[in-house]
A = this chain, B = another copy of it.
């Protein structure tokens, strides 16, 4: 027996196909959904991510606006830029690419995103809805992508145990909330967790989002478990995940590879959220 390898690239391609029709139905040209990305600073990985987002958006017919305030910008200048995008009727979705330069406070910038344009789902109003178990249009893209992969591969979630390694706002925390809302029993693990492998070995679903290359080997994995590898660390040999694939593949029931697993899903979910926000705005607010 060997794990089913979850093909995130193929699922993401299918989602993009589904979305292309939705975008066309909303409108073309100036009437198409509009996504604005704010990229501040010189982080090379961020530049790559943003370029990829732009490429996918344009393929789907989504209008893509890139704003690149200089790394020397102040928190106030970034807040003002994001507010102007929040007020711009031509924009349906806003993404503030993280991390921001060190001297900028991220919270006021994220709070300046209008909740109804919050494509990333990081505004506390949307994050709070998720945390309260209320329905919400947007949830953070990476964990939403993980949930979508599990659903498309019929991984049982309800009533199962899940362990999430890492408690970031971007992945670990929202992942634990999404799994709880889907009726899993979730243990949220982090740097202060003792006896981590033993906790993980009890999980039917193991989500690794620690950013520590290869830390999860077979001793962390319950036989037959679904192992989702969110860790992406750039190395000279390319992107490396948190999961030691050679060790885990013979034990797990499902496994997402790096690259080609969770990675492509994040952008696909961002695009889906942008389309959802565009639809919601056109059906509720006069533009």
Known contacts A132-B173, A133-B173, A186-B187: does B124 contact A158 (CB below 8 Å)? no
A169-200 Cβ-contact flags toward B at 8 Å (1 or 0): 10001001100100111111110111000010
Q: Is the CB of B131 within 8 A of A173?
A: yes
Count identical subunits in the complex: 2
Bound Cα distance from A176 to B131, whole angstroms: 11
27 of the cross-chain contacts (CB-CB < 8 Å) are: A124-B125, A124-B126, A124-B127, A124-B128, A124-B129, A124-B131, A126-B128, A128-B129, A131-B131, A131-B177, A132-B169, A132-B173, A133-B167, A133-B169, A158-B192, A159-B192, A167-B180, A176-B188, A180-B188, A180-B190, A183-B190, A183-B192, A184-B192, A185-B187, A185-B189, A185-B192, A187-B187
**Partner-B contacts on A (CB < 8 A):** 107, 122-134, 158-159, 161, 167, 169, 173, 176-177, 180, 183-190, 192-194, 199
Instruction: Give 6 closest A-B pairs by Cβ, nearest first.
Output: A128-B128, A124-B128, A131-B131, A127-B128, A187-B187, A185-B193
